[in-house]
Structure 1
Amino acid sequence: MRLNYKLWLEEEQRLFGDGPCHILELVDQLGSLRQAAAEINMSYSQAWKLINKLEKRLGFKLLNKQIGGSSGGGSELTEKGRFLTKRFSDFRKEAQVYLKKLEEKYFDQDFQQKLKKNKV
């Protein structure tokens, strides 16, 4: 038995979470939304729709995009996009540490044995 959870930011509706954060981290690493989408087996058009939807909900641009041409185009995170992605990623990493400690405190082997032996 193990704890499972999802974290996201919301404002009346879900705004930003693990999926968007991951694809933006990949764009930052790869310099391309197309390559980032391919890395997670997402279609390019689906990735574009996700980014556009996020930008509308958040009220600011996440990506600077260069269309094709001889250099092949590409994408990079805007300053706000990088700030949001880094903050969310850092928060998620820190939350995982604390949640792991809480999981060990409340759902340790002793807890699991008591459940199995009906000694609750």
Structure 2
Amino acid sequence: MRLAYKIWLDNNGKVFGDGPYDLLLRVEQTGSLSKAAAEIGMSYNKAWRLIRSMEDRLGFPLLKCKAGGSSGGGSEVTSQALRLMQQYRALREEVENTLEMLYTKHFNNKENNG
């Protein structure tokens, strides 16, 4: 048996969680929303709608986008998005550690295992 859980930030609807974090992390690594979406098996249009929805709920831009052309387009994660990603990663790590400790306390001792 193992502990399973999901966490996300909510602001009149789900606004940020593991999926959006992964997408933005991949944009940061690839410099492209299109490439990031492809890496996780998401269409570009769905990724774009997700970004716009999050920006509307958060009240700040997550990406700076350059249109394509001969030099190619690209996307850059904004400083506000990077801060959100850092905060979310730190929160998630602390939640994971705390929940694992509580799970061990309540389920991994001889009294509870019968």
**TM-score, length-normalised on structure 1?**
0.87
- Asked if the contact 2:106–2:112 (Cα under 8 Å) also holds between the matched residues in 1, the reply is no
Q: Percent identity between the aligned chains?
A: 47
Cα distance, 1:79 vs structure 2: 1.0
Mapping 1:72-111, distance limit 5 Å: 72-108=72-108, 110=110
Match of 2:28 in 1: 28
Structure 2 unmatched runs, 5+: none
- 1: CA distance between counterparts of 2:29 and 2:107? 37
What amino acid is the match of 1:13? G
Cα distance, 1:111 vs structure 2: 5.7
Q: Deviations over 1:55-96 (max 9, x none)?
A: 111111100001111221110111111111111012112221
Q: Which contiguous aligned blocks of 4+ residues in structure 1 show a shift greater than 6 angstroms?
A: none
Higher relative contact order (CA 8 A, sep 6+): 1
Cα distance, 1:8 vs structure 2: 1.0
Q: Deviations over 1:20-66 (max 9, x none)?
A: 11111111111111111011100111100100111111111100001
Match of 1:117 in 2: none
**TM-score, length-normalised on structure 2?**
0.91
Structure 1 unmatched runs, 5+: 115-120
Match of 1:10 in 2: 10
Q: How many residues are aligned here?
A: 114
